[in-house]
Structure 1
Amino acid sequence: REKMIEAMATRYNPSTKSLDLSKFYACPLFTNNQLFVPLNRPAVLLAALNIVAQHTKHDLYGLSLENNHIYLGEGLIWIRRLFPELKVLDLAGNKFSDLKELRCLSGYTIEVLNLLRNPVCDTEDKERYKRDVQQFFPMLTKLDNSELP
């Protein structure tokens, strides 16, 4: 727990209220101490999010969970519950293969979402993909680094 707090402190930007937890498992604070902190396990993700919520007083604008091998939406519900004001969510480079995994975040006021390099993006029908994502996130202005109409 102490190492998680220490690692997060170096990854939090107070001026933008953003936290970068990309490749969190590979953080030297963990690897140098033979610790494995996989955010793709819902219990570990929840523990991490609770620490963040405690230290930011639930006031987080941007969160990057890029490249953490996350494939289940199960732990993501806590993002919505703990950070109601979150506007930017980066889930790029994970293992989401179905948009249904993001259903727990449906209706959330996310404005910027990045799902690049997830299997769910490997679709021929990009327009349908965009429409489907927008149904979950009606406030989206940017998806996968592209502005939405």
Structure 2
Amino acid sequence: MGDCGAGHDDRGQSGYHQPPSHNRVWRKNDKRVSFQDRGGGGGIHKRHGGHKPSRNVFNSLSTLTEGDEDMSHAGTSRRGGYSTRGGYQRGRARVVGAGGPGIRKGRGRGKPGYINHSAIVRAAGGTLPQARGWHRVTIRKGPLYPKNELLSMLVAKCPVPFAPISFIKEGNANCFYVENKEMATALTGLYEKIIMSDGSKLGIMARPSPPPKASHPDGEMLDKLKAVMSSRFLPETKALNLRKFYADPQFLGEPFYAPLNRSLIMNHIIKIIGEHIPGIEAIDLSENDLRSLDDLEKLVEKAPNVKILHLSKNNISNVKDFIMIKDWKLLDLKVDNNPLIDKLTDYIGYVT
């Protein structure tokens, strides 16, 4: 049995067909950019009428970049969404306290926030399992069959939806990665239960593993990056949705891994933005396991007009990282479900 290493790929196999992406959640609207997300709170908004706050969102973060405390203005959005038009509900600002991210406290109206953990819908239908924990799946004698046939059989027989990331070939085995134990367990439960067209049974094994290594974006992968970004960009609203970018359906079954938390990938994304869509005004970077905003300093230079930024469900822990994006005149910033939220006595935002 061959052992699959992350540094190898098999670009000669036929591509695995995926259905159209369901991850396109930026909507066209003549008055606003709307993001369909039911996450619990976390919005930072600039008022469009009445008593106005600071000139831009970064000003409300300035005290945090000097120290993680003493926020005099705090609140969350009611539904976790945002809009660039006026007409927000007026009311007293509310805070996220020790209850952690997604829990709202307030006078009368405060109640637990709804955290949307739904993942990308796969070809098998349904919602992906939630528990994290990368596993590497090995399929003995997988290269004997066309990739389409192999993955189609797995999708048809697997009891849970799964996302085959960084599908590669080594020796007489195929290998890919899944993000959690539930997917891996479901796949190994199919050991020798899938009978292929030649009558052979598939041997499927999985073991815990670090995530695959980020692929170097050149040639075919660079073209794929551009294609995926193009499908996620709406020129009408100048909005780019990079939410959970590495798991885009167009990447699944390919020998690529494109995590935005690796500078190797993010720098290419920023370069593509600067060359093709430098005028973007809204960008969603949620669910990419970002640990810092260091790379975004370059994005500020390439795309200076960004007004809306979503960073929900990442791993950002240091509020001083926001210095990197201080030159953006942000109207809306969403940072819920990041470790930095637990550090704050008050929440960084306004509700009108």
- Normalising by the smaller structure, the TM-score range is 0.7 to 0.9
Gaps of 5+ in 1: 131-142
- Say yes or no: does 1:43 pair with 2:232: no
TM-score, L = length of structure 1 = 0.81
Amino acid aligned to 1:125: T
- In 2 relative to 1, CA 124–112 (structure 1 residues): closer, same or farther, beyond 3 Å? closer
Computing the radius of gyration from Cα coordinates, the structure with the larger value is 2
Instruction: Say which structure, 1 or 2, has more relative contact order (CA 8 Å, 6+ apart).
Output: 2
- Displacement of 1:124 in angstroms is 5.5
Contact 2:300 2:327 (C-alpha < 8 Å) held by counterparts: no
- Say yes or no: does 1:13 pair with 2:13: no
Deviates more, 1:28-37 or 1:90-99: 28-37
Contact 1:71 1:96 (C-alpha < 8 Å) held by counterparts: yes
- In 2 relative to 1, CA 99–13 (structure 1 residues): closer, same or farther, beyond 3 Å? same
- Say yes or no: does 1:92 pair with 2:312: yes
Gaps of 5+ in 2: 1-221
Q: 2:279 aligns with which of 50, 59, 73?
A: 59
- Displacement of 1:101 in angstroms is 1.8
Deviations 1:25-66 (A, max 9, x none): 00122222121001001231111121122121x100100001
Which secondary structure state, in structure 2, belongs to the residue aligned with residue 19 of structure 1?
strand
Q: Where does structure 1 differ by over 3 angstroms across 4 or more consecutive aligned residues?
A: none
Alpha-carbon distance in structure 1 between the residues aligned to 2:344 and 2:269: 35
Instruction: Tell me what 1:103 maps to.
Output: 323
Q: 2:335 aligns with which of 107, 112, 115?
A: 115
- Displacement of 1:108 in angstroms is 2.5
Alpha-carbon distance in structure 2 between the residues aligned to 1:16 and 1:112: 15
Amino acid aligned to 2:293: G
TM-score, L = length of structure 2 = 0.36
Amino acid aligned to 1:16: T
Alpha-carbon distance in structure 1 between the residues aligned to 2:327 and 2:304: 11
Alpha-carbon distance in structure 1 between the residues aligned to 2:319 and 2:282: 21
- In 2 relative to 1, CA 98–124 (structure 1 residues): closer, same or farther, beyond 3 Å? closer
Structure with the largest fraction of helix: 1
Deviations 1:2-45 (A, max 9, x none): 00011011100111000000000001222221210010012311
Alpha-carbon distance in structure 2 between the residues aligned to 1:34 and 1:43: 16
Alpha-carbon distance in structure 1 between the residues aligned to 2:299 and 2:241: 14
- How many aligned residue pairs are there? 131
Alpha-carbon distance in structure 2 between the residues aligned to 1:9 and 1:74: 24
Contact 1:43 1:75 (C-alpha < 8 Å) held by counterparts: no
Amino acid aligned to 1:22: R
Q: 2:249 aligns with which of 28, 33, 37?
A: 28
Counting aligned pairs with the same residue, the percent is: 27
Deviates more, 1:43-52 or 1:12-21: 43-52
Q: What is the root-mean-square deviation of aligned Cα atoms in Å?
A: 1.5
Deviations 1:76-98 (A, max 9, x none): 10221111111001111110011
Alpha-carbon distance in structure 1 between the residues aligned to 2:297 and 2:344: 29
Alpha-carbon distance in structure 1 between the residues aligned to 2:299 and 2:333: 13
Which secondary structure state, in structure 2, belongs to the residue aligned with residue 69 of structure 1?
coil
Amino acid aligned to 1:25: Y
- Say yes or no: does 1:76 pair with 2:306: no
